[in-house]
């Protein structure tokens, strides 16, 4: 074999190895019969060629090509090295992405569809937020809140510095000193109270025992009160009130002596005259007892009564 033929064979082999290696690095294995699928995205979120394609976490293919289409969207081509059949309505979702790892594609199976995907089909697309996006989404409101809080704290500090001038600071120092003295006095008072309590502990215990006995007596008294027939007492009170009302009605209607005394003026005048005559009679009896009472131990005295003394 001539040298030129050997060189030609080596060149052809090198080119074949180069093409095979290039496609292998891109995820295309020229020796395997793989199926090709497509998906269109408006943003691939950093997805690159040779990224893995998985189903339920198991790698079934790789991304082979990413290119722009006329609408400005991105057409992603990926191969399936597995013979696994999946529904055509499944979704090719870009997921992952973090501080170290890159983006990948996972096939979200549509279990309700019976039509299976074939090589060359374009699948539905979706993008899942990655770790960095989630962190940015969560930290953005927190950052705004922290910024607002810093501004408010700065305003508060300025207000405090404006209010706390030198005189106010001195007053605060004096107030704190007075508060310290007050706390010391309270501490001393509490010590005195504690000593008093220790000295009079027995007396306090006795007072508490007496109070407990008093409470027991009150409880017994309340039990006794609860046993009193309150209904009967109320009924008797009602009857008494009814009698008083009846008596009052009789007085108002002129029935009975008391009513006549209150309402009949003539009866009152007669009673008043009788009282005056009684008073005069009693006065005459005191002044002239001999006129009304006469007795003798030695017999009857026929001496006539002489009213000259009375006249005098």
Residue 277 maps to a domain: yes
**With bands split at pLDDT 50, 70 and 90, how would you rate the model's confidence at 76?**
very high
**With bands split at pLDDT 50, 70 and 90, how would you rate the model's confidence at 190?**
confident
Q: What is the DSSP letter of 119?
A: T
Asked if the model's pLDDT at residue 226 lies above 70, the reply is no
- Given 118, 134, 150, the domain boundary residue is 134
Asked if the model's pLDDT at residue 30 lies above 60, the reply is no
User: Mean pLDDT across the stretch 224-233?
Assistant: 68
Q: Which of 23-27, 66-70, 169-173 has the highest mean pLDDT?
A: 66-70
Return the percentage of the chain with pLDDT > 70, whole number: 79
Overall number of domains in the chain: 2
Residue 36 maps to a domain: yes
- 120 with 65: CB under 8 angstroms? no
Residue 241 maps to a domain: no
pLDDT at res. 108: 92
User: What is the CA 165 to chain-centroid distance, rounded?
Assistant: 40
- Given 72, 105, 134, the domain boundary residue is 134
Domain that holds residue 66: 32-134
| pLDDT tens column, 38-49 | 999 998 888 888
Cβ-count burial 101-120 (b if 16+ within 10 Å, e if not):
eebbbbbbebeeeeeebeee
Asked if the model's pLDDT at residue 173 lies above 60, the reply is yes
**With bands split at pLDDT 50, 70 and 90, how would you rate the model's confidence at 174?**
confident
**With bands split at pLDDT 50, 70 and 90, how would you rate the model's confidence at 297?**
very low
Residue 49 maps to a domain: yes
- 65 with 77: CB under 8 angstroms? yes
Asked if the model's pLDDT at residue 229 lies above 70, the reply is no
For residues 169 and 80, which has the higher predicted lDDT (pLDDT)? 80
pLDDT at res. 271: 77
- 109 with 75: CB under 8 angstroms? no
In whole angstroms, give the CA distance from residue 253 to residue 259: 8
Residue 308 maps to a domain: yes
- Given 134, 157, 178, the domain boundary residue is 134
* Nearest alpha-carbon partner for 96 in 58, 131, 148: 131
Residue 60 maps to a domain: yes
| pLDDT tens column, 81-92 | 888 889 999 999
pLDDT at res. 227: 64
Residue 48 maps to a domain: yes
Asked if the model's pLDDT at residue 34 lies above 80, the reply is no
Backbone angles phi, psi at 91, to 5 degrees: -115, 130
Residue 214 maps to a domain: no
| pLDDT tens column, 272-281 | 888 888 888 8
* End-to-end CA, the chain: 205
For residues 105 and 34, which has the higher predicted lDDT (pLDDT)? 105
Cβ-count burial 179-189 (b if 16+ within 10 Å, e if not):
eeeeeeeeeee
């Amino acid at each position: 074999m001539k040298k030129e033929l050997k060189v030609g064979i080596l060149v052809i082999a090198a080119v074949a190895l180069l093409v095979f290696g290039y496609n292998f690095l891109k995820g295309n294995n020229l020796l395997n019969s793989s199926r090709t699928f497509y998906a269109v995205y408006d943003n691939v979120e950093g997805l690159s060629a040779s990224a893995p394609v998985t189903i339920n976490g198991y790698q079934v293919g790789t991304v082979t090509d990413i290119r722009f289409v006329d609408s400005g969207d991105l057409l992603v081509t990926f191969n399936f090295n597995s013979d696994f059949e999946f529904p055509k309505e499944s979704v090719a979702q870009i997921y992952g992405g973090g501080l170290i790892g890159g983006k990948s594609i996972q096939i979200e199976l549509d279990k309700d569809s019976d039509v299976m995907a074939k090589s060359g089909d374009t699948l539905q697309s979706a993008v899942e937020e990655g770790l960095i996006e989630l962190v940015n989404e969560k930290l953005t409101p927190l950052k705004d809140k922290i910024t607002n809080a810093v501004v408010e704290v700065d305003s508060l500090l300025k207000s405090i510095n404006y209010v706390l001038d030198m005189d106010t600071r001195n007053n605060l120092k004096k107030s704190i000193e007075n508060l310290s003295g007050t706390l010391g006095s309270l501490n001393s008072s509490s010590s005195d109270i504690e000593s008093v309590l220790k000295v009079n502990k027995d007396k306090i215990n006795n007072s508490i025992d007496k109070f407990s006995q008093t409470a027991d007596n009150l409880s017994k008294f309340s039990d006794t009160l609860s046993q009193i027939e309150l209904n009967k007492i109320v009924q008797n009170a009602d009857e008494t009130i009814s009698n008083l009302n009846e008596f009052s009605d009789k007085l108002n209607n002129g029935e009975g002596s008391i009513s006549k005394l209150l309402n009949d003026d003539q009866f009152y005048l007669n009673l008043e005259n009788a009282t005056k005559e009684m008073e005069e009679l009693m006065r005459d009896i005191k002044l002239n007892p001999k006129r009304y009472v006469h007795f003798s131990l030695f017999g009857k005295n026929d001496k006539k009564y002489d009213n000259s003394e009375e006249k005098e």
